[in-house]
Structure 1
């Protein structure tokens, strides 16, 4: 029983790290997902509320008396 569990654990580990079966479609989907995430992040960071908040933080930091 111990050998079977050890074999199964070894086989699952090899399957988890083996990328020989990755197809071009999977890479394309990953690339599209990364680009979509980048677009969402860019729209959030360049939004008016974020820009005004960062400007306010920088202004307060520059006008603080030490």
Structure 2
């Protein structure tokens, strides 16, 4: 059967009201204030990542590795 027919009689579904779409759509899709919260969480995450990266880079092992790498690059013969 290519086309479905709607049931008739007492088993027929009542027609959907159209007003609920206009009323419900702004309620569901409203995101007032979301950008402020997203910026705040993003800023906190970036600051935490920067603090973690700073602590890793200024550590003794990373500083020694970078110093060794630079010394090796400067003393390389061509």
Q: Same fold (TM over 0.5)?
A: yes
Separation in structure 2 between the aligned mates of residue 61 and residue 23 of structure 1, nearest angstrom:
47
Matched, 1:24 2:36: yes
The structure whose residues are more often helix, as a share, is 1
Q: CA RMSD in A?
A: 1.6
Match of 1:46 among 58, 67, 72: 58
TM-score using structure 1 length: 0.61
Moved over 3 A (4+): none
Give CA deviations for 1:12-36 in whole Å, capped at 9, x if unaligned. xxxxxxxx82242232111101110
TM-score using structure 2 length: 0.53
Separation in structure 2 between the aligned mates of residue 59 and residue 27 of structure 1, nearest angstrom:
42
- Gapped regions of structure 1 (runs ≥ 5): 1-19
Q: Is the partner of 1:65 in helix, strand or coil?
A: coil
Aligned length: 47
